Amino acid sequence: MSRVRVLVGTRKGAFVLTSDGQRRHWEIAGPHFAGWEVYHVKGSPADPQRIYASQSTGWFGQLIQRSDDGGRSWMPVGNEFVYEGVPGTHQWYDGTPHPWEFARVWHLEPSRTDPDFVYAGVEDAALFRTTDAGQSWQELSGLRGHGSGPRWQPGAGGMCLHTILVDPTNPSRIFIAISAAGAFRSDDAGKTWKPINRGLRSEQIPEPTAEVGHCVHRIALHPSRPQVLFMQKHWDVMRSDDAGESWREVSGNLPSDFGFPIEVHAHEPETIYVVPIQSDSEHFPPEGRLRVYRSRSGGDEWEALTNGLPQRDCYVNVLRDATCVDELDPCGVYVGTTGGQVYASADAGDSWAPIASHLPAVLSVEVQTLP
Amino acid sequence: MIRVVLPAHLRTLARVAGEVRVEVASSPPTQRAVLDALEARYPVLRGTIRDAATQRRRAFVRFFACGEDLSHEPPDAPLPEPVVQGREPFLVVGAMAGG
């Protein structure tokens, strides 16, 4: 029987939640790296026992941890993330130039085929990779070298590269997203990049349709149809049918089109999930009701999923890396909150139950579907 | 031998309990030499006390010894004699901040 392993990064450590394919009863192991912020934990699709974790604090900086036994034991690996060449400057909050400074790793994206190969998205925004299982990291500096870097600026959470999507049919094609610069695509394995933000409109920036400067919160794709992208922007839920060449808004009947995560159903490429948040200044669900919204039409028409989710007095947030789906049938959906709950649905969102209730604030949730 | 007291998080990382002792080659022993020796013996600590590239002390890390704050001493200044003689430890401290 299949099993699932949910990898949860929190403000004070990492947790590993496991269940069988029924997804009714859960075991919680952890905290790993207790007291440290764990922005992301992700397993290798090529070797599910291989897991990478980003561990950091403001005191002691960044570490990368690797597990080769499914998260039971961990080993620190390389933690030197050095920008290639002279890093240059980006735009600071007050509009002045500010030198690029490494702060932390936001997202780790292991290769689908090689357990030793991982991309890392970092703050200040840049893309790194390792080909030796995390021992050493090299920057793919063509991204910062694109030329628009001096116009990038930090969002409230810092200038982070938070999303890395590799086209499963063409590993040379990579999509990334940066707050607040926008989405970019490489078609040559990260050597060169182009901004893919045509169709985005952000009223909060001086030129609302600028080539860069948009606060993209998350993008997602379905592996069977990698030219179709879905985006949760600072405001607006967007869709592209041409690999990011152009975008159109699909917010439709959402109660708010502000939010952080966006996710695609494992088996239905037109079924997508978002978690609406009241506003950019009120980071909690509208009306104090935590609702995941599902569209079965790739956007525009949305239904509220509420069964089992708190429908009163709920003022948590769901951060950009804190939703995921498993590959079982029916598809499981997982949502982690800043209140320390992880909610799971074993029926594609129709009903929900907490599988952890009292963790530290959840920063990220990933799931591995195991044989 | 220089006695070094690490903060709890770094003791966990280095998998040590209590004080650690490091042999320092330079004469006179300096802050830089102690940190070099510490990182050589516990490579996992590279980058956690001082930036790996610039060698600058991390902002929320402090160095104390003999009741004095040595955080702003030049890294090549000699350490206090009681530390050199092993009568007092060199303290690496995580600053009080955060929640």
Give the CATH number of the domain where residue B88 resides. 3.10.20.30
In a domain, residue A23? The reply is no
pLDDT score at B99: 53
In a domain, residue A308? The reply is yes
Q: Give the range of the structural domain holding residue A322, as residue numbers without chain letter.
A: 38-370
Q: Give the range of the structural domain holding residue B64, as residue numbers without chain letter.
A: 2-94
Chain B interface disruption, residue of A10, A55, A60, A62, most B CBs within 10 A? A60
Q: Is B51 on the interface with A (CB under 8 A)?
A: yes
In degrees and rounded to multiples of 5, residue B9 shows phi and psi of -60, -40
Q: Is B16 on the interface with A (CB under 8 A)?
A: no
In a domain, residue A28? The reply is no
Q: What is the pLDDT of residues A286-330, one digit of tens each?
A: 999 999 999 999 999 999 999 999 999 999 999 999 999 999 999
pLDDT score at B27: 87
Nearest by CB to A60, which of B48, B52, B53? B48
pLDDT score at A155: 85
d(Cα A344, Cα A323) in Å, to the nearest integer?
Answer: 10
Chain A interface disruption, residue of B54, B55, B58, B71, most A CBs within 10 A? B58
Provide the shortest C-alpha distance from residue A308 to chain B (in Å). Answer: 31
Nearest by CB to A59, which of B46, B47, B61? B61
Structure tokens at A160: 């982070």
- Provide the mean pLDDT of chain A: 97
CA dist B90 → B2, B39, B54, B86, B95 (Å): 7, 15, 22, 9, 15
Q: What is the pLDDT of residues A13-69, one digit of tens each?
A: 999 999 999 999 999 999 999 999 999 999 999 999 999 999 999 999 999 999 999
Q: Give the chain B residue whose CA is nearest to the CA of A82.
A: B53
Q: What is the pLDDT of residues A194-247, one digit of tens each?
A: 999 999 999 988 899 999 999 999 999 999 999 999 999 999 999 999 999 999
Between chains, do B58 and A59 touch, taking CB under 8 Å as contact? yes
Over residues A188-194, the mean pLDDT reads: 97
In a domain, residue A31? The reply is no
pLDDT score at B95: 85
Q: What is the pLDDT of residues B39-87, one digit of tens each?
A: 999 999 999 999 988 899 999 999 999 999 999 999 999 999 999 999 9
pLDDT score at A5: 98
Between chains, do A59 and B95 touch, taking CB under 8 Å as contact? yes
Q: A4: buried, middle or exposed (CB in 10 Å: 19+, 13-18, 0-12)?
A: buried
Residues of chain A positioned with their CB less than 8 A from the CB of B44: 63, 76
Alpha carbon A254 to its chain's center: 21
What's A42's domain CATH number? 2.130.10.10
Q: Give the chain A residue whose CA is nearest to the CA of B51.
A: A61
Q: Is B98 on the interface with A (CB under 8 A)?
A: yes
Q: Which residues, other chains included, contact B26 with Cβ-Cβ below 8 Å and sequence gap of 6+?
A: B33
Nearest by CB to B94, which of A59, A62, A79? A59
In a domain, residue B51? The reply is yes
pLDDT tier at B98 (50, 70, 90 boundaries)? low
Q: Give the chain B residue whose CA is nearest to the CA of A58.
A: B60
In a domain, residue A16? The reply is no
How many structural domains compose chain B?
1
Interface size between A and B, measured as CB pairs under 8 A = 45
Nearest by CB to B60, which of A36, A59, A76? A59
pLDDT score at A74: 98
Q: Is the per-residue pLDDT at A1 higher than 80?
A: no
Q: State the ipTM, two decimals.
A: 0.93
Between chains, do A80 and B10 touch, taking CB under 8 Å as contact? no
Residues of chain B positioned with their CB less than 8 A from the CB of A35: 9
pLDDT tier at A98 (50, 70, 90 boundaries)? very high
How many structural domains compose chain A?
1
Q: Give the chain A residue whose CA is nearest to the CA of B10.
A: A60
pTM of this structure: 0.96
Which residue, chain included where needed, has tokens 């090689």? A114
Q: Is the per-residue pLDDT at B97 higher than 80?
A: no
In degrees and rounded to multiples of 5, residue A174 shows phi and psi of -130, 135
Q: Is the per-residue pLDDT at B4 higher than 60?
A: yes
Nearest by CB to B47, which of A34, A59, A61? A61
Q: What is the pLDDT of residues A131-150, one digit of tens each?
A: 999 999 999 999 998 889 99
Between chains, do A58 and B10 touch, taking CB under 8 Å as contact? no
pLDDT score at A146: 85
In a domain, residue A29? The reply is no
d(Cα A144, Cα A192) in Å, to the nearest integer?
Answer: 10
Provide DSSP, A206-249.
SSTT-SS---EEEEEE-TT-TT-EEEEESB-EEEESSTTS--EE
- Binding-site residues on chain A for chain B (CB distance < 8 A): 34-36, 57-63, 76, 79-80, 82
Which percentage of chain A shows pLDDT scores above 70? 100
Chain A interface disruption, residue of B6, B60, B96, most A CBs within 10 A? B60
In a domain, residue B99? The reply is no
d(Cα A351, Cα A194) in Å, to the nearest integer?
Answer: 41
pLDDT score at B1: 92
Between chains, do A60 and B53 touch, taking CB under 8 Å as contact? no
In degrees and rounded to multiples of 5, residue B14 shows phi and psi of -80, -10
Between chains, do B13 and A62 touch, taking CB under 8 Å as contact? no
Between chains, do B49 and A60 touch, taking CB under 8 Å as contact? yes
In a domain, residue A161? The reply is yes
Residues of chain B positioned with their CB less than 8 A from the CB of A57: 9
